[in-house]
Amino acid sequence: MIELLTADTPNGKKISIMLEEISFEYKVTKIRINPEGDFSKGEQFKPEFRKISPFSKIPVIIDHDNNKEAVFESGAILMYLGEKSNKFYEQKDRTKINQWLMAQMAYVGPMLGQHHQFHRYNSGKDKWGEERYFNITKTIYGDLDERLGKAKYLAGDNYSIADIATFPWIARHDWHDIGLKNYKNLTRWYLEIVQREAVIKGYDFMNRGEVIPKP
């Protein structure tokens, strides 16, 4: 059994979607990262959590079927689960999968995350930051659209952990004010993924009745 320690964030949704896709038994342990609006009091900073996540970041998994192996960093977790299940991480495609997975981890997620901070949470406080990350987000949409005009999925013909990693961030497109519909290839990819039963279920892993936003 896999224990998923996380909050309801795009990075958390990556893992719940993957666990649903591979049909692994799992339970969710909710980590309160911003209790009462005070991030400094988050449970991610507790010593017991830092033992399994040295940077105080979510998500983390504990594999209770593998000597309680703990894995932190969402990309590393996806790779671990892909190897363990032999699904969505095919050996013959791993070079391409790893490239697109690392692009999400190092670029897509962090830049969209900054866009959320300036554009959604702190709008009007820093014009330079708002413009910078809006433009970077727009560039990312264009880059993904270009790639998906050449391939069905990010790493090629097959749905993989690279798509699972990227999807929850694009699913916040209504926060971005870029206009997902303006990118036909990215929209095609998005609409294909939102129809997957595991994605629908994994997206609402906190059981709040959360519905994936339409383009």
Q: Which two tokens stand for residue 117?
A: 């901070």
Q: What is the pLDDT of residues 36-54, one digit of tens each?
A: 888 889 999 999 999 999 9
Looking at the structure, give the CATH architecture of the domain made up of residues 2-85.
Answer: 3-Layer(aba) Sandwich (3.40)
Structure tokens at 125: 């406080």
Tens of pLDDT, residue by residue over 77-125, are: 999 999 999 999 999 999 999 999 999 999 999 999 999 999 988 888 9
Q: What pLDDT score does 37 carry?
A: 81
User: What are the residue ranges of CATH 1.20.1050.10 in the chain?
Assistant: 91-196
Residues of the chain with CATH 3.40.30.10: 2-85
Nearest to 176 by CA among 162, 163, 164, 190: 190
Measured at the CA of 80, the angle between CA 75 and CA 84, to 5 degrees, comes to: 150
Q: For position 123, what pLDDT does the model report? A: 87
pLDDT of residue 39: 81
pLDDT at 25: 97
pLDDT of the residue at 163 = 98
Q: How many CA atoms lie within 13 A of 195 on its CB side?
A: 6
The pLDDT of residue 29 is above 90:
yes
pLDDT at 66: 96
The tens digit of pLDDT for each residue in 135-145 reads 999 999 999 99
Model pTM score: 0.96
Tokens of 124: 């009007």
Cα–Cα distance for residue pair 160/93, rounded to 1 Å: 9
Range 91-196: architecture per CATH:
Up-down Bundle (1.20)
Q: How many residues does the chain have?
A: 215
